[in-house]
Amino acid sequence: MRVIAAATDAGGAANIAPVAALFTPQERRVFCSAATERYFRDAGVDDVTPWDASRSVEHEIAAWDADAVVCGTTRYESPDRLFVAAARVAGVRSVVVLDEWSWYAHRFRREGADQLTYLPDAVCVPDAFARNEAAHDGLPLGRMIVTGSPALASLCDRIDRFLDVPPELPDVLAGAPHPWIVFVSETHAQDFGSAPGARGPFGAFLGYTERSVATSLAASLLSIGRPCTVIEKLHPAATGDPGPLHLAPKQLWRVAGRMPVVPLLWHADLVVGMRSMALLEAALCGRPVVSYQPGLLPDYEPATGERLGFVDSAKTEDELIEWLRARWDGAPHRRPSRPAFAAAGAAASVRDVACALCAR
């Protein structure tokens, strides 16, 4: 079996890399982006090819004589999407892995269109909850297969190892006062617009931006007034310096760019974010986590980790202050039982889906 694996978005790569690792170098051709190459290398897949605009998905499918393409999903035009469309024309099987419990149909549509242009032969979903939501959002129930999440399964495997050998302390935490608060930033301003009435490529204004939330978090810490360290973990797609924030004496705010997020989450005392899947990852590490989305408009659902019952919620600055105060002096870290959506063997289940399609 000859497979093309492609993932140019971080969420997709976290799921596709463990699947690609199950094929031999002679069986696979792997495409990534500059931001996702490390996901594949961390999974032991060194034979990666960074995608560039000079390449053609049609040419790559034909040149590799591919039997199947296995891709991540994105909400924008990307090689991941184009491989699925080209595979359909070439009579090649296609499989994608959903990395989130949200934006189901949007991942398979062109901007402004209703048709599921990039729908593959099979959509691998993390659990029955996601399958039912995706069906309600318009995806064909018959094409969805519950496989578990390869990314979260791999994360739980790592966490098991961390219990014996913790990851090295990130340099950004060295010499910093506790509590260590990781703020998981995102790119909501560019994705959804930055003011009422504005829109971005992913939809209408959320009701806040990552900077308004960061400013509100800083104000909350200023109100508490006790020493602490905030590590603002930027999204891989973020650009530029977000700039300084006003804090109390002995309160530090440090910015971390392109570095692995899991070691930060593991060493954190508290984790604050908005909608990122990293909030669910932090909860699986056993860390106290809150989704803080002040002003979230009613058209948008809560964060995934909150909807699944793993993450707390704060909707106002007063609620955030109350949450922080209650956990400031060291809330016990309670790692949850391994959930079904992170069951071992998720990556193998995705591989088996692709093999079964090709055997038809």
Distance of CA 222 to the CA centre of its chain: 30
pLDDT of 201? 85
pLDDT of 332? 65
Same fold, 3-148+343-359 and 168-327: yes
pLDDT of 345? 95
CB atoms inside a 10 Å sphere around CB 15 = 31
Q: How far apart are CA 4 and CA 169, in angstroms?
A: 36
Q: Which helix (H) or strand (E) holds 49?
A: strand 48-50
DSSP 312-358: EEE-SHHHHHHHHHHHTTT----PPPPPGGG-TTHHHHHHHHHHHHH
Mean pLDDT of 103-121: 89
Kindly indicate the confidence band of residue 331, based on its pLDDT and cuts at 50, 70 and 90: low
Share of the chain above pLDDT 90, in %: 88
Question: How many CA atoms, within 13 angstroms, populate the side-chain half-sphere of residue 30?
Answer: 28
Mean pLDDT of 103-110: 90
Residue 142 buriedness (CB in 10 A; 0-12 / 13-18 / 19+): exposed
pLDDT tens digits, residue range 193-242?
Answer: 999 999 998 889 999 999 999 999 999 999 999 999 999 999 988 888 88
Q: How far apart are CA 103 and CA 168, in angstroms?
A: 35
Does a cis peptide bond (omega within 30 degrees of 0) precede residue 179?
A: yes
Mean pLDDT of 169-177: 95
Q: What CATH topology corresponds to 3-148+343-359?
A: Rossmann fold (3.40.50)
pLDDT of 56? 97
Is 143 a residue whose pLDDT tops 90?
yes
> Any bridge partners for residue 182, and if so which?
231, 271
Kindly state the DSSP code that residue 177 receives in the 8-state scheme.
P
Is 300 a residue whose pLDDT tops 70?
yes
- Highest mean pLDDT of the ranges 100-104, 267-271, 328-332: 267-271
pLDDT of 135? 97
CB atoms inside a 10 Å sphere around CB 62 = 13
pLDDT of 236? 82
Q: Are 264 and 231 in contact (CB under 8 A)?
A: yes
Q: How far apart are CA 139 and CA 300, in angstroms?
A: 19
pLDDT of 65? 97
Which two structure tokens, joined as six digits, stand for 11? 């969420």
219-242: burial string, b at 16+ Cβ within 10 Å, e else: bbbeeeeeebbbbbbbbbebeeee
Strand 289-292: give its sheet, edge to edge. 251-256, 228-233, 180-184, 270-273, 289-292, 312-314
pLDDT of 110? 85
Every domain of the chain and the residues it spans: 3-148+343-359, 168-327
Mean pLDDT of 245-270: 94
The CATH code of domain 168-327 reads 3.40.50
CA dihedral defined by 129, 113, 54, 121, rounded to 10 degrees? 40
Mean pLDDT of 162-191: 95
Q: Are 196 and 205 in contact (CB under 8 A)?
A: yes
Dihedral sign (CA 112, 115, 121, 123): positive
Amino acid in the structure at residue 201: P
Q: Are 99 and 11 in contact (CB under 8 A)?
A: yes
Average pLDDT for the chain: 95
